[in-house]
A and B are shown apart, each in its own frame.
Chain A
Amino acid sequence: MKINFNKRDPVYVQVVRHFKEEIATGILEPGQEIPSRRELAAKLKINPNTAQRAYKEMEEAGLIYTEGNLPSKITKDEAVLGAVREALILQAVDTFMTTIRPINVPLDEVVDLIKEKYTTETNGEGGGMGD
């Protein structure tokens, strides 16, 4: 786990975003244990307070849950997981839209190009998602 932090977004927001990406892409599975705040801080090289804050946000958003004294885990709530995935896709599409829109390409052409790129790239990478 390694994040290249940008300097203008709150670090805790970037950590939460990172977790969402890993949840959406399946690197983190529903019910999987996540590191303690201390481990996370050391791993990401961030302030333990920031790790704490990120976990608090995720807990409040229902992304993770904690039972008693056990380590926190990724939620198994399908609705939440679906929403995370959807939000991530939407965000990517939005980014795409803002760059493609000024070029004024017809929709069909864009869709064809996307299809073509998407399949070759996926095959090229061997379909791997990990790391």
Chain B
Amino acid sequence: MIEVKNIYKKFGRKKVLNGVSFTAEKGKITCLIGVNGVGKTTILNAIMNLTPINHGEITMGDEKISDRSFEKITFIPDAITMIPSMTIAESMQFMQDFYDSWNQKRATELLGFFKLKETEQISDLSKGNTAKVNLLLGLALDVDFLLMDEPFSGIDIFSREQIADVFSSHLVEDRGVIITTHEINDIEHLIDKVILLDDGVVLKAFNAEDVRENEGKSVVDVMREVYQA
């Protein structure tokens, strides 16, 4: 389990996170929702120790997250973070060189799943395919937790569908996923937990199936209530 406990973050005078707490469990898809600039990416960066927080604590299974955790938890940012002149094959080799948790079999499977050609250079890929390579490099790691920042933004509908299919496949099965998004159309029926954020705080956290079952509301219904209140 990943536990985010009461974290605060300021950029200069701008308060981005004002005491955010939530948990994300293994085997569940947790979705952080909020408009752009609400601090979703900052939360993921903070979890991965890519930006210092001013207050609060983040743990994974009772341990602080550090470089020792990175065989267990990985982050897929919203744009690819490989050197553009590298080919897909070279990027995969890079990952294999540095990660014990790299699963070459799954990587090959993902190449097929996304219909990608290994010999292509990253700088030559379409937006959609770049997003898929980005996802591939994270998904092929045998980690417990996957953090994904806006995996659906700025790409075509067919790529979005393909990426959404990842979440119903064995590729994320039994892993914990934290995903950020500002619109949930692509994955509304796929997510387990929903965390609604605004102004650097959690407005509401709930299980998607529970509100459907107990209140007969869709996730968007709840969002409407919370954000328009």
Contact = CB atoms under 8 A, between A and B. Distances in A.
B218 A8 contact: yes
Contact of B209 (A10, A44, A48): A10
Contacts of B47: none
B189 A8 contact: no
A48 B213 contact: no
A12 B209 contact: yes
Given A47-B192, A49-B27, A8 B168 contact: no
A49 B213 contact: no
B191 interface: yes
A50 B28 CA distance: 10
A11 B212 contact: yes
Interface residues of B, number: 25
A38 B173 contact: yes
B75 to A, nearest CB: 21
B167 A47 contact: yes
A89 interface: no
B170 A47 contact: no
Contacts of A45: 164-165, 168, 190
A5 B209 contact: no
B190 A46 contact: yes
Contacts of B55: none
Contacts of B27: 49
Contacts of B188: 7
Give the interface size class of chain A: 10 to 19
B65 to A, nearest CB: 24
Contacts of B170: 38, 42, 48
Contact of A41 (B168, B213, B219): B168
B29 interface: yes
A47 B171 CA distance: 11
A9 interface: yes
B39 to A, nearest CB: 26
Contacts of B213: 10, 13
B209 A50 contact: yes
A8 B212 contact: yes
B50 interface: no
Contacts of A12: 209
Nearest to A46: B168
